[in-house]
Structure 1
Amino acid sequence: MTFRYPLLLAVAVAVGVGLFVAYHLLQRRRAAALAAAGLAPARPRGGRLRRHLPPLLMLGALVLLFLGVARPQATVPVPRASGTVILAFDVSNSMGATDVTPTRLGAAQSTAATFVRSQPDTVDVGVVAFGQGALTTQLPSNDHDSTVAAINRLTVAGGTSLGQAILASLSAIVGQPVSLPDAEAGEPPPDLGYWRSATIVLLTDGEDTGGPDALAAAELAATAGVHIETVGVGTVEGATIEVEGFQMATALNEELLAQVAEATAGSYHRAQDAQSLGGVYDSLDLRITVEDKLVELTGAAVGIALFLLTIGGLLMITWFGRIL
């Protein structure tokens, strides 16, 4: 335990010692005065404890009040969520479908912004936007206002590459470009390190129109200890969208999303509306760490002091019919 104002601690100790010495001298003077008058001191039922307990409780309370002025502090372990979360948003044309209100992308943006704002500064959140390619629009950071701004800037365009989304998310996590090894040339997978506190949240309707193999990219993430939570945004029945004057049908592809999540020991979640999307974020398994935090104990000292004053006063009234 430490004190913000240690000089006041010395004052509190001096006051405490002075009060107890004064109480002791007062009791001796009272006993001597009674003896000089030929009287015996009153012996309340319960003996010495009953006679001295109430005033000692009140004196102890006064010492704690003086101690509180010194602002006591202690370092205590505090559990907090921590880690890195990459929100990978599908921004392909199909995410403009209105089978989820207001659109698939709009619902994903709204609930993601709420999730980011609710995170402590021990959680770094990054944003990846992917269509046929992928672009990191916000590196993992505890600057959550910037992350929310990056989410709100997203707009729909182009096709979809789930594999490219996973590779770009891994690049943001490890801090270097990540690509799949050339299997035909016998190239070994890259050493990305181990990132067990990192999670990729893939928000998409699951329609993969090309690019690197999504399952191979997911297996690469698994070797780095990264979990992928896939979120299927849309409905199985689907909707019709208009792209460059042509109408196209688009529906949720759950099978591929479930396989990608399973490859990394993650989970697939269906989000057919904004409410179920919010539930997905609540279920994210963020790592819990213990962090030492300096906590002020002034409130506790004052609270205990008031409790002792109350008990001492009640005992004085009950046993002696007075407070002093």
Structure 2
Amino acid sequence: MLGLSLSGFTAPWWFTLVVGIGLLVAGYLWVQRRRRRNTLRFTNLELLEKVAPKRAGWYRHAPAALLGVALLLLTVSLAGPTVRERVPRNRAVVMMAVDVSLSMKATDVQPTRLAAAQSAAKSFVEGLTPGVNLGLVAFAGTATVLVSPTTDRESVKQAIDSLRLAESTATGDAIVACLRTIESFGKLLGGADGAPPARIVLMTDGKEMTGTTSSTVAAKDAAKAKVPISSISFGTEQGTVDIEGKTVRVPVDDEAMKEIAELSGGEFHKAATAEQLRKVYDTLGEQIGYENKQVDASRPWLALGTLAALVAVAGALLLGQRIP
């Protein structure tokens, strides 16, 4: 935590004390030089050797040098050193919106798009920071809030297991449902620090087909609410499903997902396989669950400075029977 890891100081003006420390060092050197000059003035050197006690060598200056180091360390601690550290977002709210339209039964992602999505989503839930409030929305022709934001991971995993396919895709309505849930929860959780930070994780594989609100309008509303959307385009261009005996192509719509992410101030992720989807969720877990903050790093400097001062005093008493 010391040295090169420092990223700033909260009270750098304390470093003006270094001038005082420099003056003390200069004064110490001047006193030592003057003492030597006075000693040389004693003309009877033979008598001086008999009456003057033998002085220690260079190490007699060690306590004074160590005391100077202690003062420097204590000065650094007073200046308030800080480091960037990952800290949990214990007030954050995350809404997962999962597409359960019929296209999710395509097998271009094994065993099916939905099954792979369920597995990756549960891994995401298990790895998310415990203090983050997580909710779940399922959408096809309509959007349904299955789980309101909670720290109870089991309820979310059970809801993920219960996902069932339905017709059509109302992506915009899913975003609106997430925003309303976040707003309601924020009013309950908000305090002196204001509304908690929030994000929507949107996973879908197809084009928007229905809904009362378009996905572009909903994404702009998310940007106004300062709720970025992490969109995950899941599947391949070769995806097909069997509907009433007919083979229907269900390619992913990457452009639509990119637009949603950009309009909301979020980011777009492409996941063409189950493994890629898991990696995306792992990345999101790191981004959502933690944030980088400047935290106090003065304690190690204070501890080292105090220890150095104590050793300096002990050394001075041992070598010269006086405090430097």
- Shorter-chain TM band: 0.5 to 0.7
How big is each residue's C-alpha offset from its partner over 1:208-237, in whole Å with a ceiling of 9 and x where there is no partner? 111131111111111111101110110022
The separation in 2 between residues aligned to 1:195 and 1:207, in whole angstroms, is 32
How big is each residue's C-alpha offset from its partner over 1:12-69, in whole Å with a ceiling of 9 and x where there is no partner? xxxxxxxxxxxxxxxxxxxxxxxxxxxxxxx99999999xxxxxxxxxxxxxxxxxxx
Give, in angstroms, the shift of residue 245 of structure 1: 3.5
How big is each residue's C-alpha offset from its partner over 1:178-211, in whole Å with a ceiling of 9 and x where there is no partner? xxxxxxxxxxxxxxxx967211111101321111
Q: Which structure 2 residues correspond to residues 302-321 of structure 1 after superposition, within 5 A?
A: none
The structure 1 residue matched to 2:184, chosen from 152, 157, 175, is 175
Q: Name the residue aligned to 1:219.
A: 220
How big is each residue's C-alpha offset from its partner over 1:293-322, in whole Å with a ceiling of 9 and x where there is no partner? xxxxxxxx9xxxxxxxxxxxxxxxxxxxxx
Aligned residue type for 2:224: T
Q: Name the residue aligned to 2:153.
A: 144
Give, in angstroms, the shift of residue 238 of structure 1: 2.2
How big is each residue's C-alpha offset from its partner over 1:115-143, in whole Å with a ceiling of 9 and x where there is no partner? 11112222111110000001011111111
Aligned residue type for 1:274: A
Aligned residue type for 2:104: M
Give, in angstroms, the shift of residue 96 of structure 1: 0.7
Contact map agreement 1:79 1:291 (CA 8 A) in 2? no
Q: TM-score, normalised by structure 2?
A: 0.59
Q: Name the residue aligned to 1:210.
A: 210
Establish whether residue 262 from structure 1 lines up as the match of residue 255 from structure 2.
no
Establish whether residue 238 from structure 1 lines up as the match of residue 239 from structure 2.
yes
Q: Which structure 2 residues correspond to residues 1-324 of structure 1 after superposition, within 5 A?
A: 79-82=86-89, 83-175=92-184, 197-212=197-212, 213-239=214-240, 241-281=241-281, 282-283=283-284, 285-286=287-288, 288=291
Percent of aligned positions with the same letter in both sequences? 36
Deviating above 2 A after TM superposition, structure 1's stretches of 4 or more consecutive aligned residues are: 43-50, 77-81, 243-247, 283-292
The separation in 1 between residues aligned to 2:229 and 2:155, in whole angstroms, is 23
Contact map agreement 2:95 2:200 (CA 8 A) in 1? yes
Q: Please, what is the CA RMSD of the aligned residues?
A: 4.2
The separation in 1 between residues aligned to 2:86 and 2:256, in whole angstroms, is 36
- Where structure 2 has 5 or more consecutive residues not aligned to the other structure, the ranges are 1-54, 63-83, 186-193, 296-302, 304-324
Q: TM-score, normalised by structure 1?
A: 0.59
Contact map agreement 1:113 1:148 (CA 8 A) in 2? yes
The separation in 1 between residues aligned to 2:59 and 2:86, in whole angstroms, is 48
Give, in angstroms, the shift of residue 154 of structure 1: 0.9
- Structure showing the higher helix proportion among its residues: 2
Q: Name the residue aligned to 2:42.
A: none
SS in 2 for 1:145: helix
How big is each residue's C-alpha offset from its partner over 1:227-260, in whole Å with a ceiling of 9 and x where there is no partner? 0111011002222x12244332211111111111
Aligned residue type for 1:238: G
SS in 1 for 2:144: strand
Contact map agreement 1:230 1:269 (CA 8 A) in 2? yes
The separation in 1 between residues aligned to 2:174 and 2:253, in whole angstroms, is 16
Q: Name the residue aligned to 2:315.
A: none
Cα gap change, 1:257/1:48 in structure 2, threshold over 3 Å: closer, same or farther?
closer
Aligned residue type for 2:291: I
The separation in 1 between residues aligned to 2:184 and 2:165, in whole angstroms, is 26
Aligned residue type for 1:80: V
The separation in 2 between residues aligned to 1:256 and 1:153, in whole angstroms, is 27
Contact map agreement 1:196 1:224 (CA 8 A) in 2? no
Aligned residues: 234
The separation in 1 between residues aligned to 2:254 and 2:60, in whole angstroms, is 79
The separation in 2 between residues aligned to 1:45 and 1:125, in whole angstroms, is 68
Give, in angstroms, the shift of residue 288 of structure 1: 2.2
Contact map agreement 2:103 2:206 (CA 8 A) in 1? no
The separation in 2 between residues aligned to 1:217 and 1:143, in whole angstroms, is 28
